[in-house]
Amino acid sequence: MANKNAPLHLFDRPNSYIGQSVPRPEAHNLLAGRGQYVDDLQLPRMLHAAFLRSPYAHADILTIDTTAAADSAGVVAVYSGADFADQVTPWVGELTHLTGLRSPPQMPLAIDTATWQGEPVAMVVASSRALAEDACALIDVQYQPREAVCDPVAALLPESPVIHSEYKNNLAWERDVTAGDVEPAFADPANTVVEQVLRFGRHTGVTLEPRSSVVEFNPAEQTLTYHYSGQAPHMMQAVLAKHMQLPEENIRIIARDVGGSFGIKIHTYGDDIATALAARLLARPVKFIADRLESFASDIHARDHHIKARLAVTSDGTIAALQMYDYTGIGPYSMYPRTSAIECNQILNLTGAPYKIENYHANGKVVFQNKNMMCQYRAVGHPVAMAVADSLLEQAAREIKMDVVEIRRRNLIEDNAYPVVSATGMKFADLSHQQALERLVELMQYEKLRKQQSTANENSIRTGIGLVSMVEVTNPSPMFYGIGGAPISAQDGATVRMDAAGALHVSCSITEQGQGTNTIIAQVAAGVFGVDIKRVKVTTGDTATTPYGGGTWASRGAGIGGEAVLLAADALKQQVLEVAAIVLQSNADSLDISQGNVIDKSDSAQRMSLDELGKLVYYRGSELPAEVQPEFVATRHFRVSDFPFVFTNGAMAAQVEVDTDTGIVKVLDFWVVEDCGRVINPKLVDEQIRGGVVQGIGGALFEECLYSDDGQLLNATMADYLVPMAGEMPDIHIAHIETPTSTSTLGAKGAGEAGTGGAPAAILNAINDALAPLGASIHTMPATPERILQALGEVPT
Amino acid sequence: MKAPDFNYQRPASLSAALQLLHDNDQDAQLLAGGQSLMPMLHLRIAQPDMLIDLNRIDELATIDAGDAHIEIGSMVRYAQLEASEQIKTCLPLICSALPHIAHSAIRNRGTIGGSAALADPAAEMPALLIASNASINLVSTKASRVVSADDFFTGLYETALQPGEIIKSISIPKPGNNSVFGFYEITRRHGDYAMAGVAISAQQQSPLHKMRVVFFGVAEKPLRAHNCEQALENGTANDSGAIDLAIKSLEQLPLMGDQHTGVDSKRHLAGVALKRALQELH
Amino acid sequence: MNHAQQVDIELIVNHEKINCRVPVRVNLVDFLRNELGLTGSHVGCEQGVCGACTVEVDGTMVRGCLMLAAQADGSTVNTIEGFAESGRAGHLQQAFATHNALQCGFCTPGMLASALEYLEQGGVADRAAIRQHISGNYCRCTGYQAIVDAIEEVAGQTETTDGQ
């Protein structure tokens, strides 16, 4: 539904802020230490929760003795799983459109069996967190340990123990995708076939602000207020209503400042639900702030893929076929309500997506295991999909002695070919792979860099250059979750109203976690309506005061929420002009709003200020004709309707230095060309992309949740789980191509996943480019020094 | 992740601290800079009945330069060492290693004595003390004694400290004019504990004489490599034959891997660190 | 065991004299946040690794989680609220806002404290040195680049001023 009649001047008007690096109004608040995060809340009579967690990956719980804990100082209540059994209905992480996906019901605390190390088993509520922890240590739980099922491949063997007795095996979901026929291409001796086993370690979000909940319950009104550090208030409202069996309207979710989320805080966690249950049972506010140890042990993890893949190319570098088998371990349950099958599904959908591939076969198996649960985290599936396709492609290029840029030129979907439906059924429109690649080549001075590379190697240092061409899923439609029965809205709403002083108040259902959501809302509203941005006040993150909507996830805030704001601001403008026309005895069509004034469209002559109009309407309504009842408020909602998602694309490159003696990889330089459609605020989008790239570099080089063979998480501290820090990160160069999406007037697509989705492939390719002359290669992430030394044969495997 | 409860005492003098320790030895733990003990308290790995805070004992926080030795009080902080002209002039090995120890905010609190007493095998300071031929001055209510750094670090987080003893100070001999030093550590991120590291001292450079080669981050304690020293003794720092022999000698060392780096990699990296430290000997 | 020992402490926090009784096991950042309501300093790891709790005690920047509140008895403590109100971090705050050197803001108070330490110790506009100095402060949102840009800009201004 290309909006061909859209008034282009929207973005060229005097008050248009689209495309400008407007600073975030809330920045100074945060810079003065005046942010309001959940843990900053101190409510009267508030209690603090701590959880006793299973020390075993898999164990039957024989007895739980809470007597001593209940007597401990400051303790108000101690709960085990059984205590909540009649307080909450179980939840099941299934979606009907993921046919065959199964997962047993989950409860807030383990009952009878603990299925991962870190699963909450008992809860203490006390007058301070320290006293609650003291009492946790006094709870006596008798366990009967069981064999832990950890490796997702071994978990499907007939001899493996089965985690859930109601199932015959540990398979949660399987999907097979076939397009064309891959076999002839692999059998053709004229083709070059490359094959790899790729492994992607478990990562986790490590949001600096941990998961945080403060819950209040009012027994008289049966209302529950949940102070939430998260991304999707209305989803949380629906989840709590359904499982606590409260009317949805009795639940209010408030998200003020959120200290990072990245997908971590958008799921249903037993400890958070238990906190709400305790608040209801005790009729007192209860605070639960996950500490770092329990963040590592219970925040969702991501990735954990074991992939075998092969690619066939013809002698001229054309991709003839791509095939992959993915095993992924998701922990003991599928997470609720988004499920844990989405990452595998995305990988099957997205692998090779930038390229013309006719013959494609992919099989994914999603497997239960006794590790922490895995679910959607920033760039769901993207880093895996991009690394599989692009590492095979660069390997194939090396084998047929073709430049890695050239092989992409021969295979990328042409910019003039859209709309295109991919081998996996993805509908692509408005993409620019070719332009992005050529812009990247120019930005990084590819030819020059290659020439320097041949002379740069000395002693143990080898340099390498790696690229990736990528797609990114953004602006999801209801086809993503809602269609499968999840209480997850894919539309968003915005209400824009004008006050008596002519200022705008916008409330919107998308949420802010630091990306600059509120700034972008203000930019769009100010520009479309015609006021200075200083006169726009934005409210997000409160189910009581914002229209219904999905929140911020899957890079949808600017694209979907921004469009809702645009539509609402435009509607309000029309309403205001109609009233102004009556007052001015003019015609609404001949009027406009600019700089907070009603003006004549023809000569921009100022007719009256919005302040005057507001005061007239609100204070002196008697001056208006009786039949005129002004409404200076408009609400509009928006969803993407013609496509399941709006894809964006990009191209990235890394230059690395591998020290072949130490195995340490230093990222020397990094370049990104991103096409996220219309850029609303360059400074915000650039640092969003950079943050994503750094997270991607983290995944490629540093981050991994390490488990022992019996399912013990070994590195649950920030000293042992290595996150990217400033000292090792490069400056990142960014260029944009703007191909606005034709699904909206605003034309904005998402950009939040790009860096995290693409960077790992570029880094991996750069490392392998450096190692190739030595006959070595690596296909495991993170590419740790030890793994690189092993790949080089310096130390035994 | 909150500390368990404990009794807190903050003596103003060393003698008061010693008396408290004497009276409560089984249950008391000394709090120096706290940069390792506080995390252990939060994780409840450490659960002392009593914490004896040494941070107000001024007599433990001085740096005194004598004719032959520099005496560093156990409560001298890393930042204090970094700022000290005496350390800069007299102890180039320690001076060159300090910026590699954690991060500024940690060095502002962490103390030399705390690091020695903790004996973290991955930490730089214990290895530096052995390489510097330091002596650890211990006191108790009853006696005082001196233990050489060589003998002080006895195992994984284990030292020669006896019940009732406090590290009073650490004496480091002033190196001779011909002395040379090397320090190299291999870390994945700035300020991290090393995957492997080495501290080297020698009383003269060519030929190398009276060497001390001490590895850290590779075993259950800082490891002085005598065979390695012998291989290098009387050679030069760029004698590739001697270096190869020295690296070969690492095969006999009782190394230990960690969760990120297995023992084979540790051995390999120890060799790399040695080679690079020798290249930069100064 | 439940000694629940408490001690009386007297200290100056952000130029204000504070007298308080605290349980001995409470660390400095929890005390500042929960007792004094100075919630600008954040708790990210309670292990001294993330840097979000960095505050100034007697003129040096330290991890607020690695000190007991009892140890701050008699000390002068400054937090982000103090840096902001006194204007001491004004240039940095402005530069952070201009360069979009923060997203969620959770690391920001600690990051500013470390940046302030760098500048006040005479740090210069050298990107590698700045990166090294803030390498003990974790930020998950930005790519650190804008933070380095902001500190570099202020360091550059200071150099120019000094040069005059």
Among the listed residues A632, A375, A606, the one whose alpha carbon sits nearest the alpha carbon of residue A501? A632
Same domain, C32 and C69: yes
How are the residues of chain C apportioned to helix, strand and coil, as percentages rounded to the nearest 5?
A: 45, 20, 40
Q: Rounding to the nearest 10 degrees, give the CA dihedral for residues A89, A92, A93, A96.
A: -120
Backbone angles phi, psi at B178, to 5 degrees: -90, 0
**Mean pLDDT score, B210-215:** 97
Same domain, A669 and A520: no
* Cβ-nearest to A726 among C43, C103, C131: C131
Same domain, C74 and C116: no
**What SS3 state is found at A407?**
helix
Same domain, A309 and A414: yes
* Cβ-nearest to A786 among B39, B44, B261: B261
The residue type of A347 is I
| A162 lies in some domain | no
The rounded percent of chain B whose pLDDT value lies above 90 is 96
pLDDT one-digit tens code per residue, C49-99: 999 999 999 999 999 999 999 999 999 999 999 999 999 999 999 999 999
Residue C59 is encoded by which pair of tokens?
A: 């003129």
Looking at the predicted structure, is the pLDDT value of residue A8 above 60? no
* Cβ-nearest to A786 among B2, B262, B275: B262
Q: The domain that contains A503 carries what CATH number?
A: 3.30.365.10
Residues in CB range of A498: below 8 A, 6 or more apart: A504, A505, A572, A576, A610, A614, A632, A633
Chains within contact range of chain C (3+ C-beta pairs < 8 Å): A, B
Same domain, C10 and C42: yes
Helix A682-697, helix C145-163: angle, nearest 10: 110
Q: The domain that contains C143 carries what CATH number?
A: 1.10.150.120
Burial class (CB in 10 A: 0-12, 13-18, 19+), B108: buried
Same domain, C72 and C101: no
Query: Do the Cβ atoms of A785 and B44 come within 8 Å?
Result: no
Q: How far apart are CA C119 and CA C113, in angstroms?
A: 10
Query: Do the Cβ atoms of B186 and A662 come within 8 Å?
Result: yes
Residue C32 is encoded by which pair of tokens?
A: 């500042």
pLDDT one-digit tens code per residue, C4-14: 799 999 999 99
| A244 lies in some domain | yes
Of C83, C109, C137, the last residue of a domain is C83
pLDDT one-digit tens code per residue, A663-693: 999 999 999 999 999 999 999 999 999 999 9
Q: What is the ipTM of this complex?
A: 0.97
Q: Quick one: fold of B60-173?
A: 3.30.465
Pick among C38, C99, C112, C141 to test the A interface (most A CBs inside 10 A): C141
Per CB-CB distance under 8 Å, the chain A contacts of C50 are 208, 292, 718
Looking at the predicted structure, is the pLDDT value of residue B206 above 90? no
Looking at the predicted structure, is the pLDDT value of residue A455 above 80? no
Same domain, C11 and C68: yes
Structural domains counted in chain C: 2
The rounded percent of chain A whose pLDDT value lies above 70 is 98
| A80 lies in some domain | yes
**Shortest Cα distance, chain A CAs vs residue C35, angstroms:** 10
Q: How confident is the model at residue B25 (pLDDT cuts 50, 70, 90)?
A: confident
pLDDT value at residue A480: 84
- pLDDT higher at A697 or B206: A697
Q: How confident is the model at residue A456 (pLDDT cuts 50, 70, 90)?
A: low
Of A638, A660, A692, the last residue of a domain is A638
Per CB-CB distance under 8 Å, the chain A contacts of B3 are 130
Q: Is B254 on the interface with A (CB under 8 A)?
A: no
Residue A398 is encoded by which pair of tokens?
A: 């090396």
Structural domains counted in chain A: 3
Same domain, A373 and A291: no
| C57 lies in some domain | yes
Q: How confident is the model at residue A14 (pLDDT cuts 50, 70, 90)?
A: confident
Residue A264 is encoded by which pair of tokens?
A: 């971590």
Of C24, C51, C83, the last residue of a domain is C83
| C32 lies in some domain | yes
Count the neighbouring beta carbons within 10 Å of the beta carbon of residue C20: 16
pLDDT value at residue C160: 64
**Shortest Cα distance, chain B CAs vs residue C85, angstroms:** 23
| A413 lies in some domain | yes
Pick among A21, A30, A685 to test the C interface (most C CBs inside 10 A): A30
Q: Which residues of A3-18 are buried (b: 16+ CB within 10 A; e: fewer)?
A: eeebeeebbebebbbb
| C142 lies in some domain | yes
Handedness of CA B232, B234, B237, B238 (dihedral sign): negative
**Structural domain spans, chain B:** 7-53, 60-173, 182-279
Q: How confident is the model at residue A9 (pLDDT cuts 50, 70, 90)?
A: low
Residue with tokens 């205001």: A576
Mean confidence (pLDDT) of chain A:
96
Of C36, C63, C83, the last residue of a domain is C83
Same domain, C77 and C119: no
Query: Do the Cβ atoms of A259 and C105 come within 8 Å?
Result: yes
pLDDT value at residue A457: 67
pLDDT value at residue C2: 43
Pick among C60, C68, C107, C114 to test the B interface (most B CBs inside 10 A): C68
**What SS3 state is found at B69?**
strand
Count the neighbouring beta carbons within 10 Å of the beta carbon of residue B155: 11
Residue with tokens 């609720």: A336
pLDDT one-digit tens code per residue, B220-247: 999 999 999 999 999 988 899 999 999 9
pLDDT value at residue A555: 86
**Shortest Cα distance, chain B CAs vs residue A153, angstroms:** 23
Burial class (CB in 10 A: 0-12, 13-18, 19+), B217: buried
* Cβ-nearest to C106 among A260, A684, A694: A260
Write out the residue range of the structural domain in which residue C127 sits.
89-163
Q: Rounding to the nearest 10 degrees, give the CA dihedral for residues A686, A687, A689, A691.
A: 170
pLDDT value at residue C161: 58
Looking at the predicted structure, is the pLDDT value of residue A519 above 50? yes
pLDDT one-digit tens code per residue, A205-228: 999 999 999 999 999 999 999 999
Looking at the predicted structure, is the pLDDT value of residue C163 above 50? no
**What SS3 state is found at B128?**
helix
Same domain, A215 and A275: yes
Q: Which chain A residue has the Cα nearest residue C25? A: A130
Among the listed residues A569, A390, A540, A399, the one whose alpha carbon sits nearest the alpha carbon of residue A471? A390
Same domain, C96 and C126: yes
| A196 lies in some domain | no
Same domain, A457 and A369: yes
Looking at the predicted structure, is the pLDDT value of residue A771 above 90? yes
Looking at the predicted structure, is the pLDDT value of residue A642 above 90? no
pLDDT value at residue A12: 76
**Shortest Cα distance, chain B CAs vs residue C104, angstroms:** 23
Q: The domain that contains A141 carries what CATH number?
A: 3.90.1170.50
Same domain, C35 and C56: yes
Same domain, A760 and A623: no
Q: How confident is the model at residue A146 (pLDDT cuts 50, 70, 90)?
A: very high
| A373 lies in some domain | yes
Query: Do the Cβ atoms of A260 and C140 come within 8 Å?
Result: yes
Residues in CB range of B53: below 8 A, 6 or more apart: B8, B9, B10, B11, B31, C68, C70, C71
Same domain, C16 and C74: yes
Taking the CA of residue B183 as centre, how many other CA atoms within 13 Å lie in the half-sphere pointing to its CB? 21
Q: Which chain A residue has the Cα nearest residue C136? A: A725
Same domain, A313 and A457: yes
The CATH classification of domain B7-53, taken from the options 3.30.43.10, 3.40.50.11060, 3.30.200.20, 3.40.50.300: 3.30.43.10
| C1 lies in some domain | no
Same domain, C32 and C62: yes
Q: How confident is the model at residue B282 (pLDDT cuts 50, 70, 90)?
A: confident
Backbone angles phi, psi at A276, to 5 degrees: -65, -40
Q: How far apart are CA C28 and CA C6, in angstroms?
A: 14
Residue A780 is encoded by which pair of tokens?
A: 């495991």
| A764 lies in some domain | yes
Same domain, A24 and A54: no
CATH no. of B182-279: 3.30.390.50
Contact present, B232 and B213 (Cβ < 8 Å): yes
Pick among B193, B218, B263, B265 to test the A interface (most A CBs inside 10 A): B265
pLDDT one-digit tens code per residue, B2-12: 999 999 999 99
Q: Rounding to the nearest 10 degrees, give the CA dihedral for residues B255, C136, A705, A707.
A: 30
Q: Is C100 on the interface with A (CB under 8 A)?
A: yes
* Cβ-nearest to B53 among C71, C132, C135: C71
**Shortest Cα distance, chain A CAs vs residue B232, angstroms:** 21
| A277 lies in some domain | yes
pLDDT one-digit tens code per residue, A303-332: 999 999 999 999 999 999 999 999 999 999
Q: How confident is the model at residue B26 (pLDDT cuts 50, 70, 90)?
A: confident
Same domain, C37 and C70: yes
Q: The domain that contains C48 carries what CATH number?
A: 3.10.20.30
Residues in CB range of A350: below 8 A, 6 or more apart: A381, A382, A385, A386, A424, A426, A471, A473
Burial class (CB in 10 A: 0-12, 13-18, 19+), C117: buried
How are the residues of chain B apportioned to helix, strand and coil, as percentages rounded to the nearest 5?
A: 35, 25, 40
Per CB-CB distance under 8 Å, the chain A contacts of C41 are 33
Looking at the predicted structure, is the pLDDT value of residue A13 above 80? no
Q: How confident is the model at residue C109 (pLDDT cuts 50, 70, 90)?
A: very high
* Cβ-nearest to B4 among C25, C46, C68: C25
**Mean pLDDT score, A75-95:** 97
Write out the residue range of the structural domain in which residue A15 sits.
8-35+491-638
Q: How far apart are CA A427 and CA A419, in angstroms?
A: 7
Q: Which chain C residue has the Cα nearest residue A31? A: C93
pLDDT value at residue B189: 98
Query: Do the Cβ atoms of C45 and A259 come within 8 Å?
Result: no
Taking the CA of residue A344 as centre, how many other CA atoms within 13 Å lie in the half-sphere pointing to its CB? 30
Same domain, C115 and C158: yes
pLDDT one-digit tens code per residue, A398-424: 999 999 999 999 999 999 999 999 988
